[in-house]
Amino acid sequence: MEVILLTETLNISSKIGSYSVIMCDMLSDDYHTPFEQCRAAIVDQTVLNIYGKDRETFGAIKNVIPLTAREKLKNAKTSISLCEELLNVGFKRGETFLAIGGGTIQDIATFTASILYRGIPWIYIPTTLLSQADSCIGGKSSLNIGNWKNQIGNFYPPRKIYIATKYLKSLSYNDIRSGLGEILKVHFISGADMVKLIGKNYHSITMDDEILTEVILRSLQLKAKIIEADEFDQGYRLILNYGHSFGHAFEAATKFSLPHGIAITFGMDLANYLSWNLGRISKNEYESLNEIIRENLKPSDFIDIDLKVFLKALRNDKKNRPGKYCFVLPVSLGKVEPMFISMEQDIEKKITHYIQGIKRCFF
């Protein structure tokens, strides 16, 4: 079969097991390799509905296990059920497991692969912009338990990750913007030059396939530097949570009606706003970031926010310390730092002021 797109590979060092990200086209030999190598695959039901009729690729998988990617299924119980399904189809120690889908599928697959036979090799094909440009590397699983979001998990990276951007053609505009939120995040924490570059290229990303591929690869390269320096989240890697404490609170306060990356986009703006009000960045720096952020938002994103739920979620954030919030805030254009701030009324007043005037600030 003719390879119609040159592949680019990003190699990532890991103490658990180094792995590679391969940029490839869905018609290339490189893309077909994992389908032929893996005995079984967990596949997002939506992806299967759209692409499952392509027997040339999916037909090579001996056992396809469809799974609907829902937040309520992102738990250990689902992983245990998948282990049972794999055992039922005769999956043996050392055989390779394939996962195809977005971040929810990735979280479940990571945990499942790590516990079956105390760890089996696996390959991941991310199918959303958010998973392709951000979550596919880092090796984390984050599962929910009861009413607590992302409170359990581990580190267990795949052996290989294959990125085919043609999967993005079937995504909604909101899904694309959700991925762009995480792309903005990693650029915003990677220096002033990266902030200016993403601001300049924002409108071209979804208009040009070559630019989109370039931005995905650059985002992964920027993130790889951070995770390789602190693979197990002992300190430096915490900067990747920029916008996430607030973003998770936005999700909770809107009953998860906001796509994750859109909630993170709001979360970054609130982090920037708070940093400006605390004197960490200048008004000009806040406005420079806000100008880019507003490009990734639209009027329909501004839905009702339950302030009580928002503040409760913020207080329960797993990164907090007793009596102190852990916020990742910008200290200059392109640089952020984790800060532990007392849970005082003054801080909550600033946050409340932002939320009450949020729509007015943008439109």
Q: Are 170 and 102 in contact (CB under 8 A)?
A: no
DSSP result, 114-155: HHGGG---EEEEE-SHHIIIIITSS-B--EEETTEEEEE--B
Query: What is the model's pLDDT at position 318?
Result: 87
Query: What is the model's pLDDT at position 207?
Result: 84
Number of Cβ within a 10 Å radius of residue 217: 18
Query: What is the model's pLDDT at position 250?
Result: 96
Tell me the CA distances in angstroms from 130 to 101, 102, 259, 309, one per residue in order: 11, 8, 10, 26
pLDDT band at 3 (very low <50, low <70, confident <90, very high): very low
Query: What is the model's pLDDT at position 344?
Result: 87
Write out the CATH class of domain 8-171.
alpha beta
Write out the CATH class of domain 232-362.
mainly alpha
pLDDT band at 6 (very low <50, low <70, confident <90, very high): very low
Cα–Cα dist 290/33, whole Å: 43
Listing from the earlier edge strand, what are the strands of the sheet with 8-12?
Answer: 8-12, 19-23, 160-163, 122-126, 97-101, 40-44, 63-67
Strands 143-145 and 148-152: antiparallel
Mean pLDDT of all residues in 111-139: 97
**184: amino acid identity, one letter:** L
Mean pLDDT of all residues in 47-67: 85
Query: What is the model's pLDDT at position 59?
Result: 78
pLDDT band at 5 (very low <50, low <70, confident <90, very high): very low
Domain ranges of the chain: 8-171, 232-362
Query: What is the model's pLDDT at position 209?
Result: 84
Instruction: For the chain, give the number of residues.
Output: 363
**pLDDT tens column, 82-121:** 999 999 999 999 899 999 999 999 999 999 999 999 999 9
**pLDDT tens column, 258-303:** 999 999 999 999 999 999 999 999 999 999 999 999 999 999 999 8
What is the 8-class DSSP label of residue 75? Answer: B
Mean pLDDT score of the chain: 92
Structure pTM? 0.92
